[in-house]
């Protein structure tokens, strides 16, 4: 294994960062110790107790079931043997409730006598096997663990059986961290870095050193050109490595993809309304309403909605949005079910901060610019409107005991209309240029998939197979005009600072000379077929083999002004995948290795208009997965090596064109830990080291042997620890602390010019009180008021407080 050398300053800073993290761990453990040491010193003799057992329909003990007394707000959680005890209850008549997420709630009436112990036993209607499935899905014992998913392999494959690496962020974790922005959930995924926000609210993050978008929803295209509201998110799945075999390459990077899984209806009526307020004039109201629509519970309905209003910490900038997502499930019979989900969003916002350095200047670090951190160099009248409509459908049909059909479709409309902005430095004279593009940019996406999933034996060998076909189409109509204001001083702008208004920009747009490229239409499609088989050689050893063929048809960019089409081409690409998994300890520890391939169809323009070949990425990876101690410890550690061929880069001989002459290498280590070492205490931690470099650059580009600037920090770490009291009078009270670290990175990295983004360490903390009927939480982000920047040199939020109040019924 070979890694590039690191500067001495990095080695000096990194131990300091580790010291900060260890201090956080010590403080959190001390806090947990103080809380866990809380006990009622003596029980009042005149009070009574309730005890009993909870079992499943087949007589097995039911662990982690909540048993609560409604009137007294007291309760307990059943042990591994199914027992529970609730002490120090005042005499009287009470309602005892046994509940577990996803199961039917049961109630009993109980009389508590002075000094007495009343025994109440429950028998759940579910069997032990069914309850175990619910345990795995809800991970009540390790509440932030939801690794079991059918999305990664397109098959019901357990994490320990899957040779691919992936991370899952649950809605429970996002709720504990008081997440009000979708990208804040990515703080818990190793190697994602600081979110990159584009001018229309669209976001990307990092995966193994590659910029990776948020274009997949429920495993199909959910191409959202605007911001994504977290109100409808059940979990975020980060699937690592080139994934061209089972997912559309247009929606993934060579580092992986992010799949957002939305909330689905279930059989129990439930409503949760949440109001959140805090720094920067945050006002956010959300509602989650779930209702079965008939007595048989074959028609289920759920709706999630959000009303969001927030200003920037800078002198200008805002986001006002409305979002609603209704979902319907119709269980036709025991073989056929239909899911329909709709997302509708409307937003009025200012463009994200974006700053380009002066590549001919003498300043090489964003900290040395001297720009006021809270100045936006913008104006609230320079805004845009965005709209989003996503229609998703899933039809599941059980063909036989061994085969089922899965039909998925998605239709997306996503648009931006208004002004988006760009700031450019001229640091030789300490000035900044304000640029704005007035655009009307709608996207139209159609994605249809048909999968056949089988689970059968050939002789004594088990085969789990998915065979599918996919159609994807993306159209866009881009109308835009770009204008630039006179440069102003960025140290002392004076009255000229207020000239950047919509009225002045509109006047410049009206006076601009029309160009052919002011209106462009794009249309591209892909047709794919794929096959994947997981073959069990023994009960501990399995192999995965997958293949995909993709036909890409880019109809090019059409400019109606001159009737010309440029960049049109057709390409066919194959993508194989192989993997092996050996369970060293059955159901607890597995060793895995994989070879994965991905490709991207290249739409860039060469000087002689010659179509580019597809880019290919080949990954070799090996590691270990652990799911031990009754799911209390879940961890993945792996080493990967990704080589990319046919890399494109700017053509040094022809400005505005690209050349395809490069190769790129990305290798590194990733580690993740999700742990519940003792009741109430949870840990989510990750570390990622990525060594990326251009290994074969075109002459004159100045990139040979250098790390690509958009690969982000070489080292990234994340940590979250929380504790909640699980029994007694203060059950539901808890706190959490954690943070994120990123090493130094570059906005520009060439032989002739480098622009540095400094390393950063942020620390967050929360306290909460979570009860069956309500929840109160308070979160402080960036406790140390760290100044740090994204790849686009956008200043990130200073210390921020958020108060969250929820009512559940």
Q: List pLDDT tens digits, range 307-331.
A: 999 999 999 999 999 999 999 999 9
Give the position of tokens 């009436």: 109
Strand partners, 480: 439
Separation between Cα atoms, residue 537 and residue 579, nearest integer Å: 13
Within 10 Å of residue 169's Cβ, how many Cβ atoms?
A: 25
Q: Which of 713, 672, 738, 685 has its CA nearest to residue 166? A: 672
Q: What is residue 635's predicted lDDT score, i.e. its pLDDT?
A: 97
What's the mean pLDDT in 229-257?
Answer: 92
Confidence (pLDDT) at 324: 98
Each residue of 260-313: pLDDT tens digit?
999 999 888 999 999 999 999 999 999 999 999 999 899 999 999 999 999 999
- The four Cα atoms 244, 247, 248, 254 give a dihedral, to 10 degrees, of -40
Q: Answer yes or no: are the C-beta atoms of 205 and 193 closer than 8 Å.
A: yes
Percent share of the chain, pLDDT over 70: 91
Q: What is the pLDDT of residue 29?
A: 42
pLDDT tens, residue by residue, 7-52: 434 333 434 443 444 454 444 444 444 443 443 333 445 789 999 9
Q: Where are the domains of the chain?
A: 48-129, 132-262, 270-511+522-808
Give me the numbers of helices (H) and strands (E) for the chain, helices first please. 4, 43
What is the reported pTM? 0.83
Q: What is the pLDDT of residue 655?
A: 76
Residue 553's pLDDT band (cuts 50, 70, 90):
very high
Which string of DSSP letters, residue by residue, matches 526-591? EEEEEEEEEEESSSSEEEEEEEEEEEEEEEEEEETTTTEEES-EEEEEEEEEEEEEEEEETTTEEE
CA proximity to 358, closest of 10, 654, 753, 37: 753
Nearest to 240 by CA among 712, 738, 688: 688
Strands 83-89 and 117-119: unpaired
Q: Model confidence at 477, in pLDDT bands (50, 70, 90)?
A: very high
> Quick one: tokens of 653?
């001989």
Task: At 364, list the tokens.
Answer: 């090489």
List beta partners, residue 685.
Answer: 673, 719
Average pLDDT, the chain: 89
Residue 44: the pLDDT is 43
- Indicate if the pLDDT at residue 392 is higher than 80: yes
Lowest mean pLDDT among 180-184, 265-269, 543-547, 684-688: 265-269
Token pair 């300043």: residue: 363
Query: Rounded to an integer, what distance in angstroms lies between the CA atom of residue 16 and that of residue 27?
Result: 16
What pLDDT is attached to residue 41?
A: 38
Extended beta strands in 601-632, E state:
615-628
Cβ atoms of 120 and 96 within 8 Å: the answer is yes
How many angstroms separate the CA atoms of 513 and 571, rounded?
37
**d(C-alpha 419, C-alpha 417), whole Å:** 7
Per-residue pLDDT at 136 exceeds 80:
no
Per-residue pLDDT tens over the stretch 487-509: 999 999 999 999 999 999 999 99
Q: How far apart are CA 451 and CA 155, in angstroms?
A: 10
Q: CATH topology for 270-511+522-808?
A: Maltoporin; Chain A (2.40.170)
Q: What is the CA radius of gyration of the chain?
A: 28
Return the structure tokens found at 87.
Answer: 């002490």
pLDDT higher than 50, residue 55? yes
Q: Quick one: which H or E segment has residue 340?
A: strand 336-350
Mean pLDDT (whole number) for 599-625: 84
- CATH code for the domain defined by 48-129: 2.60.40.1120
Q: Which residues contact residue 565 at a Cβ distance below 8 angstroms, ignoring those fewer than 6 apart?
A: 555, 556, 557, 558, 559
Are 372 and 360 within 8 A, CB to CB?
A: no
Strand order in the sheet with 233-240: 166-170, 233-240, 256-262, 216-217, 220-221
The answer to whether 342 and 404 have CB atoms below 8 angstroms apart is no
In this structure, which CATH number among 2.170.130.10, 3.50.50.60, 2.40.110.10, 3.40.50.300 belongs to the domain 132-262? 2.170.130.10
Give the C-alpha distances (Å, rounded to integers) separating 572 from 250, 569, 615, 782. Answer: 13, 11, 12, 47
pLDDT at 83: 85
Among all chains, which residue has been given the structure tokens 């990295």? 749
pLDDT for residue 262? 95
Confidence check: pLDDT of 420 > 60: yes
Is-contact 420 200, C-beta < 8 A? yes
The pLDDT value given to residue 4: 39
Over residues 694-717, the pLDDT tens digits come to 998 877 777 889 999 999 999 999
Evaluate whether 91 touches 112 at the Cβ level (below 8 Å).
Answer: yes
Q: Hey, what are 502's tokens?
A: 């919509």
CA dist 653 and 633 (Å) reads 55
129 pLDDT band, cuts 50/70/90, is very low
Same fold, 48-129 and 270-511+522-808: no
- Closest alpha carbon to 240 in 684, 693, 666: 666
Which pLDDT band holds residue 200 (cuts at 50, 70, 90)? confident
Cα angle 562, 610, 474 (rounded to 5 degrees) comes to 65
- How many angstroms separate the CA atoms of 473 and 281, rounded? 40
- Burial (CB < 10 A; 0-12, 13-18, 19+), residue 428, is exposed
Kindly tell me the burial class for residue 576, based on how many C-beta atoms sit within 10 Å of its own C-beta (0-12, 13-18, 19 or more).
Answer: middle
Bridge partners of 754? 749
Is residue 326 exposed (0-12), middle (13-18) or buried (19+ Cβ within 10 Å)?
middle
Find out whether 330 and 298 touch, Cβ atoms under 8 Å. Answer: yes
Integer Cα distance of 317 and 63 in angstroms: 49
More confident residue, 569 or 338: 338
Identify the residue whose tokens are 């008021």. 785
CB atoms within 10 A of CB 45: 7
Work out the angle at residue 631's Cα, subtended by the Cα atoms of residues 625 and 632, and round it to the nearest 5 degrees: 105
pLDDT value, residue 18: 39
């Amino acid at each position: 294994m070979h890694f590039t050398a690191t500067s001495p300053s990095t080695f000096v800073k990194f131990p300091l960062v580790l010291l900060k993290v260890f201090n956080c761990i010590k403080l959190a453990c001390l806090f947990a110790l103080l809380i866990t040491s809380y006990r009622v010193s003596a029980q009042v003799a005149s009070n009574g107790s309730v005890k009993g057992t909870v079992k499943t329909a087949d007589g097995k003990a039911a662990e982690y079931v909540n048993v609560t007394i409604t009137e007294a707000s007291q309760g307990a959680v059943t042990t591994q043997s199914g027992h529970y005890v609730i002490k120090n209850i005042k005499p009287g008549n009470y309602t005892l409730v046994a509940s577990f997420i996803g199961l039917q709630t049961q109630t009993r009436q109980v009389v508590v006598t002075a000094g007495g112990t009343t025994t109440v036993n429950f028998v759940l209607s579910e069997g032990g096997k069914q309850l175990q499935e619910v345990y795995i899905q809800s991970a009540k014992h390790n509440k932030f663990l939801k690794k079991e998913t059918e999305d990664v392999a397109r098959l019901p494959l357990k994490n320990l059986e899957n040779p691919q690496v992936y991370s899952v962020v649950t809605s429970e974790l996002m709720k504990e961290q008081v997440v009000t922005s979708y990208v804040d959930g990515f703080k818990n995924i190793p190697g994602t870095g600081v979110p990159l926000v584009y001018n229309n609210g669209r976001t990307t993050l990092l995966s193994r050193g590659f910029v990776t978008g948020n274009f997949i929803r429920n495993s199909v295209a959910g191409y959202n050109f605007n911001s994504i509201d977290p109100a409808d998110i059940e979990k975020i799945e980060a699937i690592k490595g080139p994934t061209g075999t089972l997912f559309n390459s247009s929606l993934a990077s060579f580092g992986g993809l992010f799949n957002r899984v939305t909330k689905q209806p279930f059989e129990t009526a439930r409503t949760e309304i949440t109001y959140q307020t805090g720094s920067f004039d945050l006002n956010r109201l959300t509602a989650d309403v779930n209702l079965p629509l008939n007595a048989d519970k074959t028609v289920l309905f759920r709706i999630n909605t959000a009303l969001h209003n927030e200003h920037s910490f800078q002198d200008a900038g805002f986001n006002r949005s409305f979002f609603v997502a209704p979902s319907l499930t119709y269980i036709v019979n025991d073989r056929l079910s239909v899911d329909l989900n709709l997302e509708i969003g409307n937003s009025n916002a200012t463009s994200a901060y974006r700053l380009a350095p002066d590549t001919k200047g003498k300043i090489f670090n964003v900290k040395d610019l001297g720009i006021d951190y809270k100045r936006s160099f913008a104006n609230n009248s320079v805004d845009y409107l965005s709209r989003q409509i996503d229609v998703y459908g899933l039809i599941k049909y059980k063909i036989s005991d061994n085969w089922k059909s899965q039909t998925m479709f998605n239709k997306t409309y996503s648009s931006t209309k208004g002004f988006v902005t760009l700031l450019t430095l001229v640091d030789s004279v300490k000035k900044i240029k304000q640029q704005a593009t007035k655009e009307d940019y709608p996207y139209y996406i159609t994605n249809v998939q048909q999968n056949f999933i089988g689970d059968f034996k050939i002789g004594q060998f088990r085969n789990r197979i998915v065979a599918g076909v996919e159609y994807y189409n993306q159209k866009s109509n881009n109308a835009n005009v770009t204008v630039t204001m006179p440069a102003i001083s960025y140290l002392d702008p004076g009255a000229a600072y207020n000239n950047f208004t919509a009225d002045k920009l509109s006047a410049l747009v009206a006076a601009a000379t029309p160009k052919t490229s002011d209106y462009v239409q794009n249309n591209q499609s892909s047709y794919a077929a794929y096959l994947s088989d997981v073959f069990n050689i023994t009960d501990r050893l399995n192999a995965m083999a997958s293949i995909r063929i993709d036909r890409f048809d880019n109809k090019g960019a059409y400019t109606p002004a001159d009737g010309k089409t440029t960049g049109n081409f057709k390409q066919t690409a194959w993508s194989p995948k192989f993997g092996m998994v050996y369970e060293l300890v059955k159901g607890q520890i597995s060793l895995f290795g994989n070879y994965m391939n991905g490709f991207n169809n290249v739409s860039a323009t060469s000087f002689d208009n010659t179509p580019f070949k597809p880019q290919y990425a080949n990954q070799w990876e090996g590691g270990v997965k652990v799911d031990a101690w009754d799911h209390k410890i879940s961890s993945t550690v792996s080493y990967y090596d990704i080589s990319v061929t046919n890399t494109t880069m700017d053509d040094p001989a022809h400005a505005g064109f690209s050349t395809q002459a490069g190769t790129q290498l990305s290798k590194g280590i990733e580690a993740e830990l999700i742990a519940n070492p003792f009741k109430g205490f949870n840990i989510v931690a990750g570390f990622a080291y990525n060594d990326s470099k251009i290994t074969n650059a075109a002459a004159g580009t100045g990139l040979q042997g250098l790390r690509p600037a958009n690969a982000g920090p070489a080292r990234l770490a994340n940590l979250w620890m929380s504790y909640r009291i699980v029994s007694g009078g203060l059950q539901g009270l808890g706190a959490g602390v954690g943070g994120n670290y990123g090493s130094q990175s570059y906005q520009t990295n060439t032989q002739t010019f480098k622009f540095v983004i400094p390393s950063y360490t942020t620390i967050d903390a929360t306290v909460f009180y979570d009860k069956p009927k309500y929840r109160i939480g308070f979160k402080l982000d960036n406790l140390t008021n760290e100044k740090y920047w994204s790849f686009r040199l956008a200043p990130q939020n200073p210390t921020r407080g958020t108060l969250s109040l929820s009512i559940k019924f």
